[in-house]
Structure 1
């Protein structure tokens, strides 16, 4: 069966104090059909009940266990064995296979998730499935205002609200991930400036600025050892993963950063 990244990507819902479920972010199946990854900030520790819904995969699962990375903005959601309808030890039926370590500057990526910006004239504030493409602009050590620290890739597109936790994968090999959407990074460009000297000799400067927003993605190969702790990697299972374009194993140059 041909892998479809849309089927592997879902939404995270949290139960609030009133007993209602509210959308929190995106998520995706990883290595197993009952194991998902999302951004850690999408599943705060104060939340006790988490449901994941995969609209295109036509599945809804209750999360039983959550493992949060000690420093990076990523969490692993473990659902019950009754949701794992993969048989044997072969490739998963619906999940992404693994995270690549041979990513490069300028590499094209695809991303999919459920942004919830709005409302607008054409959409509400409800999660809306959207597909994105872009390029990695740089790689750097990122530290968020929430205190998360991890090796990140800067995306050539903004990451709208709700896309956090969604997969970043290769257009030519959608089974292979490179990252997970986590945040936005903002800078600005000065589009115009005015210098005036007032009568009392005071210098006055006025600037017009344009805010530039770039998405941020956690590079999954950098937390490979942590991922392997909770779900075995392909090598240990005897899987053979080959890039359909180069024929190389995209995960064979992993340098862990825990």
Structure 2
């Protein structure tokens, strides 16, 4: 299976009844500001080139963001901060992400999440996280030849990602703790290049509006990840 084929399969998943019901209800009811738009209302696949050296891992699609637009972090306040930072450090072609077909391109970077459907209150259950895990496992396996750095946005993504990484890279016991700006280098189990894993506070409105996370802080982590990806990459 290619990454494009995986993305198409992700978009057809109906494995979690609660998430299916919620994402489709949101797509029908809509937010007043988007009433004239057709919502995506399906699982949201990852976004970025198949030979990415950097992966960004979030939590799940936002109900009126990616669940509306069909692309991770597109059309919401979190994406406003994230894509501006990606553009500032040379990992995106433009600082805004509004809709599919808006011309946005990522350079050597792929954005994904451990849960592919928008969850009620932005809180997937542990069972929903674990049910969705095989999609992330396959995605990272396909990125394995070129992946050199991962930026994890928030503690939920960190907890969900480390067990997945352990298949190809040796995650120590006890597992490293999440924190903004932390870096852990994981040796490859097959003797190949290691993987640099970075923590970053999630680009949620709660974090960015209160100043807990600033654009400069996001740019610093992305710059470190870009350096860890190696000379000339992305």
TM-score, scaled relative to structure 2: 0.29
More contact order relative to length (CA 8 Å, sep ≥ 6): 2
**Larger CA Rg, structure 1 vs 2:** 1
Higher helix share: 2
Report the TM-score, using the length of structure 1 for normalisation.
0.27
